[in-house]
């Protein structure tokens, strides 16, 4: 993921002008990284070091989603999940 792509993700999901680290922004960035790494692992099936990184990213995203769900309304949570195309 290059800087321009990351910047567009941040501007799309931020809640105010200087918001770069809120839960929804972090979840969106992790989702993009996870999808990129998933495509990499489809080609390189034996890359276990990257697989471990992927599993750690998925766990971190899960924790952030749980936090986001407790701090915000369920409507905002459902909206974020639908926007990012995450199951659950």
Q: Are 9 and 19 in contact (CB under 8 A)?
A: no
The tens digit of pLDDT for each residue in 39-59 reads: 999 999 999 999 999 999 999
pLDDT of residue 87 exceeding 90: no
Query: Which residues, including other chains, have CB under 8 Å from residue 85's CB and lie 6 or more apart?
Result: 31
pLDDT of residue 88: 61
Q: Which is nearest to 50 in space by CA: 25, 73, 68, 42?
A: 42
Domains, the chain, with CATH or none = 3-7+19-84 (1.10.287.10)
- Predicted TM-score of the model (pTM): 0.91
């Amino acid at each position: 993921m290059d800087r321009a792509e990351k910047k567009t993700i941040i501007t799309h999901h931020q809640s105010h002008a200087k918001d770069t680290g809120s839960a929804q922004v972090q979840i969106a960035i992790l989702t993009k990284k996870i999808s990129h790494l998933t495509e990499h692992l489809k080609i390189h099936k034996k890359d276990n070091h990257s697989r471990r990184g992927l599993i750690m990213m998925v766990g971190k995203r899960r924790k952030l989603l749980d936090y986001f769900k407790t701090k915000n309304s369920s409507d905002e949570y459902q909206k974020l999940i639908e926007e990012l195309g995450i199951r659950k």
